[in-house]
Amino acid sequence: MSLTLILLTPLVGALVLLAMPRRLEGGIKIVANVAAWAGFLVSLPLWWQFDPSSADQFQFVTRSPWIPSIGAEYHTGIDGFSALLVLLTTLMGGIAITASWSAVSLRIKEYYIALLVLQTGVIGAFIALDLLLFFLFFEVMLVPMYFLIGIWGSDRRLYSAIKFFLYTLVGSVVLLLGILALYFHLHAVTGVYSFDVTRYYTLDVPPRLQFWVFLAFFLGFSIKVPMFPFHTWLPDAHTDAPTAGSVILAALLLKAGTYGFFRFSMPMLPDATREAVPWIALLSLIGIVYGALCAMAQQDWKRLVAYSSVSHMGMVVLGLFALTPTGITGSLIQQINHGVSTGALFLLVGVVYERRHTRQIDAYGGIAAVMPLYAAIFLLMTMSSIGLPALNGFVGEVLILQGTFVVSKVWAGVAGLGIILGAAYMLWLYQRTMFGEITHDENRGLKDLGLREVFTFVPLIILAFWIGLYPKPFVDRLAPAVQRLVERVSPEIAAGAAAAVHAVPDAHAAPAVPATTHPAPGVH
């Protein structure tokens, strides 16, 4: 029941906004913010009420028939990972709407309605446990985003909006074919028509079919992530979207892709997953390095952050497909981290864009002198993005690196290179914009962050430190989900870990097991 409440709160907000007269601009903004933050508050119980020690794979499950004749149900539920994602969604949604207070003046009613509908779509995608329901929300996300970019964006917004839409649509459609193939295979094996995700987890899929379905799913999800070479829509979409759009795109929509891998591709098609690891690792590594190098070459601030997203998400996918518990945990944490830090970075760009209406890096310089608070927060988020210890980025990156290292030292090495490059372009960006003399007179009069703007950053700062210093609550919530996935895709690691658990009380008899269950570094 409570998941549906979380799902519908933004939608109710959108409907209320629909009924409001256009002239009441102040009222519209207030209602939108109330709806968004109410959505966050309603989702907070997920943090406390989620039980990591429960034996159920999914909690808060709601299940009612939707289209019985084809076996589609309204089936929702969360595990540790989707719980965190839903919380991230409602938080970023609230932040995005509050950040838009003064940023948008054209057709603000429709703007907030689009944001709230988008919110519903994203939440729906993360809680759906029925393949058709998931696909529906996966597609529904595209439409409001398309309008956000196309109407309230900048420069080449129409081109970017269409590119975004069609690119992701092609992927989704191929994904649909994969879903259909699995659907009919299930029917052939069990005689039942169903889209229930849990059925597919236990379904035996022959290797040939796994290969093709994995490929279909891969196309759909990798375009969303985005993985090299399907990333070309991202820089355009990010740069031309309005600030709130970029924040939601980076923080949430990209996660829908990796979530898709975690929830669908990997557990349903384990053999194909294992076979695909070298290829996916290759594409991820290329994405990491290529994204970083492109970021370094950018003149447009937002485009730089966009390419940094490509690089970071490459890291996320690498950790995921390392198929080790540490790697997967790191990947999941890093997804949350990326949402926080990249969301914050886009917010930061939005702040100066609102003031100066330019994203060119060389139009700035020495800003730290006039906007010290801004510079401080920017530095913090830069460090978070780079992966400085004590901040969230470090936890994710270290886990990913360790999880990858046991699979291939070369991969971990190249990924490490990506981290170094990340530090390079971020620090260089910071230096060019914040430090030194103020080179442009327009920058002298810039006002520092207002109270509302600070408010939008506070939750992100808190999260950055929390995850960085004390990640245990997050890791605990993720652990059961990770364990289940590892059992499915890497049974030998899971068996080895189980043996290690049994052997721990008797230290002498401990066989040589991969100590990948411990997040402590430098064991092997």
Partner 1 sequence: MDNLQAIMPMLIVTLAAMATMLAEAFRRKDERMPIGGLGVIGLVGAIAAAGLLWDRNAVGFGVIQADNFSLFVTVVVAVIGLFTIMFSSEVVEREGIPSGEYYTLTLFSVVGMMMMASATDLLVIFIALEIMSIAVYVLTGIKRTDAAGTEASFKYFLLGSFSSAFFLYGIAFSYAVSGSTRLDALSTAIAQSASAPGPMVWLAMGLLLVGFAFKVSAVPFHMWTPDAYEGAPTVVTGFMSTGVKAAAVAAFLRVFLSAFEPLRGDWTQLLTWIAMLTMVVGTVVGVAQTNVKRMLAYSSIAHAGYLLAGIIAASAIGKSAVLFYLASYAVANVGAFGVIAFIATRERNTGELTDFTGLWYAKPMLAVLMAVFLLSLGGFPPMAGFIAKWYIFAAAVNEGFYTLAIVGVLTSVVSVFFYLRIVVMMFMSSNKAELEVPPFGIVGTLGLALAAIATFYLGILPTRLIDLATQSISTIF
> Which residues in this chain contact partner 1 in the complex, by CB under 8 A?
66-70, 110, 132, 135-136, 139-140, 143, 147, 150-151, 158, 161-162, 165-166, 169-170, 173-174, 176-177, 180-181, 183-184
The C-alpha atoms of residue 250 and residue 239 are separated, in whole angstroms, by 11
Q: Which is nearer to partner 1, 15 or 180 (CB)?
A: 180
The least distance separating partner 1 from the CB of residue 188, rounded to whole angstroms, comes to 10
CA distances from 445 to 356, 359, 505 (A): 10, 17, 66
Q: What is the 3-state secondary structure (H, E, C) of 354-369?
A: HHHCCCEHHHCCCHHH
The least distance separating partner 1 from the CB of residue 80, rounded to whole angstroms, comes to 28
- The answer for residues whose C-beta is within 8 angstroms of residue 246's C-beta and 6 or more apart is 238, 302, 346, 349, 350
Q: Which is nearer to partner 1, 176 or 373 (CB)?
A: 176
Greatest CA separation for the chain? 76
Q: Which is nearer to partner 1, 135 or 307 (CB)?
A: 135
3-state SS, residue 51 = coil
Q: Which is nearer to partner 1, 66 or 466 (CB)?
A: 66
Spatial contact of 465 and 390, defined as CB atoms under 8 Å apart: yes
Spatial contact of 474 and 336, defined as CB atoms under 8 Å apart: yes
Q: Which is nearer to partner 1, 53 or 64 (CB)?
A: 64
First to last CA, the chain: 46
The C-alpha atoms of residue 300 and residue 154 are separated, in whole angstroms, by 13
- Integer-rounded Cα Rg, in Å, for the chain is 22
The least distance separating partner 1 from the CB of residue 199, rounded to whole angstroms, comes to 17
The least distance separating partner 1 from the CB of residue 24, rounded to whole angstroms, comes to 16
Structure-block tokens of residue 451: 């109270």
Q: Which residue carries 């923080």 as its tokens?
A: 251
The least distance separating partner 1 from the CB of residue 179, rounded to whole angstroms, comes to 9
Q: Which is nearer to partner 1, 164 or 405 (CB)?
A: 164
Q: Which is nearer to partner 1, 136 or 293 (CB)?
A: 136
Backbone φ and ψ of 291, nearest 5°: -60, -45
The DSSP 8-state label assigned to residue 227 in this structure reads P
Q: Which is nearer to partner 1, 139 or 354 (CB)?
A: 139
- The answer for residues whose C-beta is within 8 angstroms of residue 281's C-beta and 6 or more apart is 318, 321, 322, 408, 411
The least distance separating partner 1 from the CB of residue 104, rounded to whole angstroms, comes to 15
The least distance separating partner 1 from the CB of residue 169, rounded to whole angstroms, comes to 6
The least distance separating partner 1 from the CB of residue 266, rounded to whole angstroms, comes to 24
